Amino acid sequence: MNHTETLPALRAIGVPYKRVDGRLKVTGAAQYAGDFTANGLTYGFVVSSTIAAGRIVSIDSSAALALPGVLHVLTYQNRPELPRADKAYKDMVAPGGSPLRPLWDDRVWYSGQPVALVMAESLELARHAASLVEVRYESAPHQTAMREVLMKAEPPSTEKGGFEPPPEPRGDADAAVAGAAVRVDEFYSTPAEYHNPMEMHGCTVVPGEHGNLTVYEKTQGVVNTKTYLTTVFGLKDDEVRVVSPFVGGAFGSGLRPQYHLALAVMAARELKRPVRVTLTRQQMFTFAHRPQTIQRVALGAAANGKLQAVIHEAVSETSQYEDYCDVVVNWAGRLYQCENVTLGYKVARLDVPTPADMRAPGAAQGLFPLEVAMDELAEALRMDPLELRLINYAERDANKNLPFSSKALRECYREGAARFGWGKRPLAPRARREGNEWIGWGMATGAWEALQNEASARAVLGRDGIVTVSSSTADIGTGTYTAMTQIAADALSMPLHDIVFELGDTRLPKAPIEGGSWTVSSVGSAVDAACKRLHNRLVELARQHGGARFASVAREDIRRVGKRLVCGFGADDSIGIDTLLERAGLESLEEQANVKPHEKQQAYSMGTHSAIFVEARVDEALGTVRVTRVVSAVAAGHIVNPKTAGNQIAGGVVWGISMALHEDGQFDHDIGRQMNHNFAEYHIPVNADIHDIDVLFVDEHDDIVNPLGAKGVGEIGVVGVAAAVSNAIWHATGKRMRDLPMTLDKLFA
């Protein structure tokens, strides 16, 4: 046995380390987009439209400009010239399409649209001055009620948005439903839900001496933001730097550059001074939101529970100027085995801003009716809902006719049910009661894709033994800093405290936007590759400059221990990294890697899966619902950090409870304006609404999805939760809830 085999390898992946950036955040040292400052900083405040459709007749800024300290009021009439071609940046934002171009012309598309930007020496002054800007409008008829235009809905255009059409029908689902021994055919709805991260959207734009810009922006992708700015403003690549080291929550709202960014850049270039524009909480309701949907699910089954037909049709909202589309119905064609499947998707145009991706876009809405309908089918069959799902378990992705790279959903069902105690569940509803509360148990399935995109990373070793790893990815609160540090430490067999990970800067190697749960898969694979290259290069240096002992041993026998390289236990079997680099004439050692998805992935369908089990208690007199216990069992490949990943799933469960019981964007359709655009009336859960959440990860090996075998967990946590809550409410009360949110007025209806 070689004596070096007794040296233990450091393992970082799979260890529940605390967040490496946690201290910066809790001490206030972390800088967000609105925290950066510069000499001569100017503050911008957005003036929002008060009509839902029409045109601007006039804008009178004289009263605002008369105030000392007010520097300028930017409108469509005096904004700088911008390129006209939408196609120049259609494919450079996420989701695809042509975002609203603020102050483009006199057209008003929706209530709350930005119509002016006031710039002043202080935020308070800018806000007051904005209230003095008088805008006269010519109103046009508007429509914000989707049910009024439901019959006008049309299939979305692939030219106006990033639409992924449903697969072609399989078999004859209509005939199969009609001839089924047992069938369910119902309509379901989900409301518009709004992004409300703790950090509101904002940016600080600092112009340089030669017209270059440094932009501190809340974004999920600095490269995406830079591409948007260079294209829209006709700037060269070296004229823009985008920086975003910390993001106070996003989950979709930061994928696309929002209107405050373009306004701030226009203002900074106009004034030739640094400008900060931050949105108010009310203005956070004037762009990114999850679109409302109306969906039909029809299921037909044999008497033994075997599915014979699945029909899932959905209509969701979009704006008048874009075709935004979530992938809502496709999941029904892959989650369960069925030979007759028809999926359809349409969009209805409203006078509202374009919707946006929101955590698990499409799946969060689409799995709600599908999983409630499966529960209704189990009720009609007098069958346990979990048994029904196992009977119809899909071994292949029928949409793509491909095998799964891995799918441990059976294990999720088994381990989640055991942890929850599902075997003790009464089959009939209204079977358990404590005091005034009926107690019900419900479950649902969750699914999301496991994706990988091209990404780059760099690793630099200094003489001090510290390795700095970097990539221009983002951390929206998901734990990217920590996960990448662990991946680097594992690849280098180093302790975490000797690794520094940098992100959120366009000067760093390119990375995709942080979204779709693909960051660990994409950026993590690049970090792993760059660090392994660095280690191999360091080993070669040791063989060349470490002396006779290092030159005589095999490469795999040379390992790093602390800040030294060793190949044994003798005096000549060790050399300091600083000494090695000095002998080689190097101040540092650097390697970079670019990783792309490999071709063998095309032969598989890749995804994450979950099983959610919920206990709900419903007060018979008050109609209030308490979700007192949740078990979420997740299969997501190799988990890099069980602590941060578990936090992600628990956060998704909270969001799912919020979706089920609280969130609802409510409009006054007469004036076409959302009325609950604040935290007082747009309800989200508080601590008292959340009780026991138990997250478990099942073992799942996957050597196809990426070199790490890791799948993302950002989205999967929320999928299926609302359906499980609905099913638990039915089990408690005997009443089906098909429209979100499930509020007490609907329970009593």
Residue 435 Rama label (left phi>0; alpha psi -120 to 50; beta): left
Fold of the CATH domain 3-29+453-596:
Aldehyde Oxidoreductase; domain 4 (3.30.365)
DSSP label of 315? E
User: Rounded CA gap, 630 and 641, in Å?
Assistant: 21
Give the model confidence (pLDDT) of 366-415 as tens digits.
999 999 999 999 999 999 999 999 999 999 999 999 999 999 999 999 99
Q: Enter the tokens of residue 698.
A: 């099942």
Query: How remote is the C-alpha of 85 from its chain's centroid?
Result: 29
Q: Do domains 3-29+453-596 and 397-450+600-749 have the same CATH topology?
A: yes
pLDDT tens across 698-737, in order?
Answer: 999 999 999 999 999 999 999 999 999 999 999 999 999 9
- Residue 440 Cα distances to 274, 741, 748, angstroms: 57, 18, 17
Judge whether residue 3 has pLDDT over 90.
Answer: no
Q: Which amino acid is at 369?
A: P
Q: Is the peptide bond before 95 cis (omega within 30 degrees of 0)?
A: yes
What is the percent of the chain with per-residue pLDDT over 90, rounded to a whole number?
89
How confident is the model at residue 96, as a pLDDT? 76
Contact yes or no for 155/255 (Cβ under 8 A): no
Tens of pLDDT, residues 579-591: 999 999 999 999 9
**Tens of pLDDT, residues 615-653:** 999 999 999 999 999 999 999 999 999 999 999 999 999
Q: Using the predicted structure, report yes or no on whether residue 186 has a pLDDT greater than 60.
A: yes
| pLDDT value of position 209 | 85
Q: What was the pLDDT predicted at 82?
A: 81
Helix (H, G, I), strand (E, B) or coil at 377: helix
Which 3 state secondary structure label does DSSP give 464?
coil
Dist CA 585 CA 431 (whole Å)? 78
pLDDT at 162: 54
Q: Which residues contact 217 (CB under 8 A, 6 or more apart)?
A: 33, 203, 225, 242, 243, 244, 257, 261
Q: Are 54 and 139 in contact (CB under 8 A)?
A: yes
To 5 degrees, how large is the angle CA 465–CA 471–CA 475?
105
Write out the two tokens for 440: 């019900």
- d(CA 222, CA 244) in angstroms, rounded, equals 7
Lowest-confidence pick of 212-216, 295-299, 321-325, 446-450: 321-325
CATH 3.30.365.10 for the 397-450+600-749 domain, yes or no: yes
Residue with tokens 């936090």: 647
Residue 8 has pLDDT above 70, yes or no: no
Averaged pLDDT of the chain: 94
- Provide mean pLDDT across the span 110-124: 98
**If you average pLDDT over residues 248-277, what whole number do you get?**
95
Mean pLDDT of 163-174: 90
Q: What stretches of 233-273 show up as alpha helix (H) in DSSP?
A: 259-271
- pLDDT at position 1: 28
Q: What is the pLDDT of residue 7?
A: 38
What number is the average pLDDT over the span 270-296?
A: 96
pLDDT above 80 for 93: no
Cα R_g (the chain), whole angstroms: 28
pLDDT tens-place string over residues 595-616: 999 999 999 999 999 999 999 9
Question: Which residue ranges make up each domain of the chain?
Answer: 3-29+453-596, 397-450+600-749
What is the predicted pLDDT for the residue at 156?
Answer: 85
Q: Token pair 């988990």 is at which residue?
A: 639
Residue 730: which H helix or E strand, with range?
helix 721-733
Residues belonging to the active site: 715
Half-sphere exposure (CA, 13 Å, Cβ side) for 621?
A: 2
pLDDT of residue 255: 93
Q: What is the pLDDT of residue 5?
A: 36
Maximum C-alpha span of the chain: 87
Say which range, 538-552, 559-573, 680-694, has the weakest mean pLDDT. Answer: 559-573
CA 157/CA 407 separation, integer angstroms = 33
Instruction: Please write down the HEC assignment for all residues of 277-288.
Output: EECCCCHHHCCC
User: What pLDDT digit, counting tens, does each position of 45-89 carry?
Assistant: 999 999 999 999 999 999 999 999 999 999 999 998 887 655 545
